[in-house]
């Protein structure tokens, strides 16, 4: 809260998006970054509440309110409003392994529980978070976290989605040797083959994987546990095994004409779409499972 | 004596527990505040309260969604829960509950808690003797019922309230009579609106010691004279009324600067007049925005944060006079000019001599009235030697306020 009356003087402004006419020509990200002035104004809208909820991260009636990773939101809002980007990044990294992912695709329960949202529009927390990490990469402030000492323990992480990556990052930082197993050809799981490129550019995912590789994490792709390597083998060779495979069974929709041609599960479609993007983005199958995927397709 | 408790009183259960431990009054604050919409923002001092509670900013006030009825409802729930618990305990009234520590049981959690385990609860669970417990208690409602305004003044001034006829009343007053005149003022405002009544329509003459907040918020048309002295908050929020104090002593015994009214007189007063034949305590006329007052001496922090009105001090001042004063004018009759200037807080104000004809006349008028109402010897002396005395006044005026007055005058000239 660099400026006390920010919330009184400035209205919420969301990040601009590319013109749809332009957007259909490519699969690049469609959200445009804020200007310096926007960032200063938007971050100063944070009221530094006496009793904030944005960073609380509590389960309420089966849903999350507040940031599930307990980001120090009011703190880095203030740092951003003071244009102290490097310190803001350090505070953000304290709680969040991958702000560039959450800053883009997190549903932002922090904004839903922002105190300002009681009678106004919430602070643009998610956009600010994303900008902090992007400036971090722009200025080479994001460093590989190579531990000073190794513990001699070796951990296998099965699955390289957000959970697997975060677990690996934390364990590596603590000094354990970490090997990640991924059945697909590229690491990232949902980040790579679930979220479409226009929301989360695959280069952004690769950028993080590179940082992690530099910090000493090993990736073994094209290896499906249970097929290419057995659970017993893992148990034998590693001191600990973490299963981060996600929910692989899609939920079917038992409706009339469900068996018609061209109806696919979201992940089947999204994986195919991203793979196609890497090769030749010609055909796009139609999907119908979940609102978001439909929306993604529609774009 | 009454034992009051507060601190996280939230439920009827809390109140019953406090009562069993001996409490006789129960203070609530957080819970009713939250009911009015408080979100514990901790910005009360910043004028940025985002729910429009701790602010006067009209834009923020728009966001206030509180409703007094919700607080009433909450209190009803608290009372309801108390009744339920009291029924279980076989107790009919709250009075029967007070100090009955034998009805409390130490929770088994105490022994399980590493810190609580070490507490000795014996002293607070001690059973006091029965005479103390069963003594007669003064209830706040009874106190209100016996209020001087309700029991005596309002019934006697009915002709003034109904037909606007002039009424004079002589009454004794004691320092247990608090907020005398305030409820009367409410009755006047309710019937006659902001304008009130013609000057001196209701003329109340008291003899004795006035209790706290004498004449608080009294509107135009009500004059309140006291022969004696006053407690703190005399004329708090004065809204057009007139307040007069003169000592009830043989004049030989009375020294002019002897304090006859307490601290914080005329706090936040907006209009009206006050004549005090004697000294006032600390923080005289703080946040005054329009009252014309004459007093014969003030304590520390006089005229602090004043934004309007005129204050004439015919005597000494305490330190930090005129701190944060952004409007209005103070005139100090100074025997030692240097000493006066030293005691002022100079951050916002200038010192000047009186030279403007209209202004001198205005001051003279104030002092003349002071003599007329209170028989002040000092004011009489000043008026008798007016030519010389007027030069002994130090005029204290905020710099910005002076600039504003000058501008106004220029504009008036242009208009003419």
Instruction: Give the model's confidence band at A72: pLDDT under 50 very low, under 70 low, under 90 confident, else very high.
Output: very high
A125-129, B2-6, B387-391, B396-400, range with the lowest pLDDT:
B2-6
Decide: residue B53, CB within 10 A, 0-12 exposed, 13-18 middle, 19+ buried.
buried
Cβ-nearest to B63 among A49, A51, A119: A119
Decide: helix, strand or coil at residue B376.
Answer: coil
All residues of chain B having their beta carbon less than 8 Å from the beta carbon of residue A120 are 50
Stretch B283-287: mean pLDDT, rounded? 96
Q: Is B325 in contact with B310 (CB distance < 8 Å)?
A: no
Residue B182 above 80 pLDDT?
Answer: yes
Number of other residues whose CB lies within 10 A of the CB of residue A285: 14
Q: Looking at residue A283, what is its pLDDT? A: 46
Distance from the A208 Cα atom to the nearest Cα atom in chain B, whole angstroms: 38
> In this complex, do A119 and B48 lie within 8 Å of one another by their Cβ atoms?
no
All residues of chain B having their beta carbon less than 8 Å from the beta carbon of residue A119 are 50-51, 63, 65
Instruction: Give the model's confidence band at A238: pLDDT under 50 very low, under 70 low, under 90 confident, else very high.
Output: very high
Residue A232 above 70 pLDDT?
Answer: yes
Residue A293 above 60 pLDDT?
Answer: no
Stretch B231-242: mean pLDDT, rounded? 97
Q: Looking at residue A157, what is its pLDDT? A: 97
Q: Is B122 in contact with B110 (CB distance < 8 Å)?
A: no
Round to whole Å and give the CA distance between A58 and A265: 31
Distance from the A110 Cα atom to the nearest Cα atom in chain B, whole angstroms: 17
Q: Looking at residue B251, what is its pLDDT? A: 67
A88-97, B58-67, B246-255, range with the lowest pLDDT:
B246-255
Chain A with chain B: Cβ pairs closer than 8 A: 37
> In this complex, do B59 and A118 lie within 8 Å of one another by their Cβ atoms?
no
Cβ-nearest to B39 among A4, A51, A120: A51
Instruction: Judge whether B54 is closer than 8 Å to chain A, CB to CB.
Output: no
- Of residues A25 and B304, more confidence is placed in B304
Instruction: Judge whether B44 is closer than 8 Å to chain A, CB to CB.
Output: no
Stretch B336-343: mean pLDDT, rounded? 91
The proportion of chain B whose per-residue pLDDT surpasses 90, expressed as a percent, equals 80
Q: What's the token pair of residue A280?
A: 């030749």
DSSP codes, B97-152: HTT-GGG----THHHHSTTGGG---HHHHPPPPHHHHTS----HHHHHHT-HIIII
> In this complex, do A8 and B43 lie within 8 Å of one another by their Cβ atoms?
no
Distance from the A51 Cα atom to the nearest Cα atom in chain B, whole angstroms: 6
> In this complex, do B41 and A116 lie within 8 Å of one another by their Cβ atoms?
no
Instruction: Give the model's confidence band at B141: pLDDT under 50 very low, under 70 low, under 90 confident, else very high.
Output: low
Q: Looking at residue B252, what is its pLDDT? A: 63
Stretch A259-282: mean pLDDT, rounded? 79
> Which residues have a Cβ under 8 Å from the Cβ of B207 and sit 6 or more positions away?
B170, B171, B172, B173, B226, B227, B228, B248
* Per-residue DSSP letter, A191: I
Residue A296 above 60 pLDDT?
Answer: no
Stretch A190-205: mean pLDDT, rounded? 93
Q: Looking at residue A294, what is its pLDDT? A: 43
Q: Looking at residue A279, what is its pLDDT? A: 62
Q: What is the pLDDT of residues B45-101, one digit of tens each?
A: 888 999 999 998 999 999 999 999 999 999 999 999 999 999 999 999 998 888 889
Stretch A69-87: mean pLDDT, rounded? 95
Q: Looking at residue A2, what is its pLDDT? A: 66
Residue B254 above 70 pLDDT?
Answer: no
B128-142, B180-194, B257-271, B296-310, range with the lowest pLDDT:
B128-142
Domains of chain A: 6-138 (1.10.1060.10), 154-243 (3.50.50.60), 250-299 (no CATH)
Round to whole Å and give the CA distance between B297 and B280: 6
Q: Looking at residue B256, what is its pLDDT? A: 63
> In this complex, do A47 and B50 lie within 8 Å of one another by their Cβ atoms?
yes
Q: Name every residue in A having a CB less than 8 A away from some CB of B.
A: 4-5, 7-8, 47, 49-51, 115-116, 118-120
Domains of chain B: 4-133 (no CATH), 149-415 (2.160.20.60)
Cβ-nearest to B48 among A4, A115, A118: A4
Residue A288 above 50 pLDDT?
Answer: no
Q: What is the pLDDT of residues B144-176, one digit of tens each?
A: 677 899 999 999 999 899 998 999 999 999 998
Q: Where are the alpha helices (DSSP H) in chain A?
A: 6-9, 20-23, 36-44, 73-81, 85-95, 99-105, 109-112, 125-138, 162-174, 202-214, 231-237, 266-278, 291-298
Q: Looking at residue B144, what is its pLDDT? A: 67
Q: Looking at residue A1, what is its pLDDT? A: 55
> In this complex, do A119 and B60 lie within 8 Å of one another by their Cβ atoms?
no
Instruction: Judge whether B41 is closer than 8 Å to chain A, CB to CB.
Output: yes
Q: Is B325 in contact with B305 (CB distance < 8 Å)?
A: yes
Residue A112 above 70 pLDDT?
Answer: yes
B170: Cα within 13 Å, side-chain hemisphere: 2
Per DSSP bridges, beta strands B222-230 and B239-246 are parallel
Residue A156 above 50 pLDDT?
Answer: yes
Q: Is A185 in contact with A286 (CB distance < 8 Å)?
A: no
Q: Using CA coordinates, name the residue in chain B closest to A7.
A: B50
> In this complex, do B50 and A50 lie within 8 Å of one another by their Cβ atoms?
no
Q: Using CA coordinates, name the residue in chain A closest to B48.
A: A5
């Amino acid at each position: 809260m660099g400026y006390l009356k920010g919330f009184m003087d400035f209205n919420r402004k969301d990040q601009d998006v590319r013109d749809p006419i332009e957007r259909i020509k490519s699969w690049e990200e469609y959200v445009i970054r804020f200007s310096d002035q926007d960032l200063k104004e938007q971050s100063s809208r944070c009221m530094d509440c006496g009793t904030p909820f944005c960073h609380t991260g509590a389960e309420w009636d089966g849903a999350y309110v507040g940031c599930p990773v307990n980001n120090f939101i009011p703190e880095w809002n203030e740092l951003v409003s003071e244009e102290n980007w490097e310190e803001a990044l350090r505070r953000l990294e304290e709680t969040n392994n991958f702000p560039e992912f959450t800053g883009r695709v997190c549903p932002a329960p922090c904004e839903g529980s922002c105190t300002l949202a009681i009678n106004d529009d919430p602070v643009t927390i998610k956009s600010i978070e994303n900008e902090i990490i992007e400036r971090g990469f722009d200025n080479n402030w994001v460093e590989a976290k190579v531990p000073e000492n190794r513990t001699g323990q070796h951990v296998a992480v099965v699955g390289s989605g957000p959970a697997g990556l975060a677990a690996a990052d934390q364990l590596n930082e603590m000094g354990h040797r970490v090997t990640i197993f991924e059945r697909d050809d590229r690491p990232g799981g949902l980040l790579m083959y679930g979220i479409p490129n226009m929301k989360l550019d695959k280069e952004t995912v690769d950028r993080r994987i590179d940082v992690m590789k530099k910090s000493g994490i090993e990736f073994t792709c094209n290896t499906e546990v249970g097929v290419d390597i057995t659970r017993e083998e893992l148990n034998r060779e590693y001191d600990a095994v973490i299963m981060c495979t996600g929910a692989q069974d899609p939920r079917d929709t038992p409706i009339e004409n469900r068996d018609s041609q061209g109806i696919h599960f979201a992940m089947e479609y999204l994986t195919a779409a991203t793979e196609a993007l890497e090769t030749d983005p010609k055909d796009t199958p139609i999907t119908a499972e979940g609102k978001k995927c439909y929306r993604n397709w529609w774009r | 004596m009454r034992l009051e408790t507060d601190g996280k009183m939230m439920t009827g259960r809390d109140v019953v527990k406090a009562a069993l431990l001996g409490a006789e009054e129960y203070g609530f604050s957080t819970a009713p505040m939250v009911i009015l919409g408080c979100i514990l923002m901790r910005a009360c001092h910043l004028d940025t309260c985002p729910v429009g509670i701790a602010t006067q900013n009209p834009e923020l006030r728009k966001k206030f969604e509180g409703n007094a009825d919700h607080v009433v409802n909450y209190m009803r729930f608290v009372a309801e829960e108390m009744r339920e618990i009291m029924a279980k305990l076989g107790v009919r009234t709250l009075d029967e509950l007070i100090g009955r520590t034998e009805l409390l049981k130490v929770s088994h959690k105490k022994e399980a808690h590493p810190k609580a385990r070490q507490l000795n609860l014996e002293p607070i669970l001690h059973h006091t003797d029965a005479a103390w417990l069963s003594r007669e208690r003064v209830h706040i409602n009874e106190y209100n019922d016996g209020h001087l305004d309700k029991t005596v003044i309002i019934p006697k001034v009915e002709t003034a309230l109904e037909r606007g006829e002039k009424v004079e009343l002589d009454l004794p007053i004691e320092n247990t009579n608090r907020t005398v005149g305030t409820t009367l003022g409410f009755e006047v405002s309710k019937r006659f609106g902001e304008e009130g009544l013609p000057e001196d329509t209701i003329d109340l003459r008291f003899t004795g010691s006035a209790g706290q907040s004498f004449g608080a918020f009294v509107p135009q048309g009500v004059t309140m004279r006291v022969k004696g002295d006053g407690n703190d908050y005399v004329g708090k929020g004065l809204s057009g009324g007139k307040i007069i104090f003169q000592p009830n002593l043989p004049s030989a015994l009375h020294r002019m600067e002897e304090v006859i009214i307490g601290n914080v007189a005329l706090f936040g007063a907006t209009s009206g007049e006050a004549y005090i034949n004697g000294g006032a305590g600390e923080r005289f006329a703080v946040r005054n925005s329009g009252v014309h007052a004459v007093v014969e001496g003030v304590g520390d922090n006089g005229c602090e944060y004043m934004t309007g009105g005129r204050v004439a001090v015919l005597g000494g001042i305490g330190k930090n006079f005129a701190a944060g004063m952004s409007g209005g004018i103070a005139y100090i009759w100074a025997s030692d000019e240097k000493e006066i200037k030293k005691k002022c807080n100079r951050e916002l104000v200038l010192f000047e001599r009186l030279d403007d004809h209209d202004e001198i006349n205005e001051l003279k008028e104030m002092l003349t009235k002071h003599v007329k109402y209170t028989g002040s010897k000092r004011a009489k002396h000043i008026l008798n030697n007016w030519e010389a005395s007027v030069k002994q006044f130090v005029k204290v005026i905020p710099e910005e306020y002076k600039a504003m007055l000058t501008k106004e005058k220029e504009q008036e000239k242009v208009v003419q």
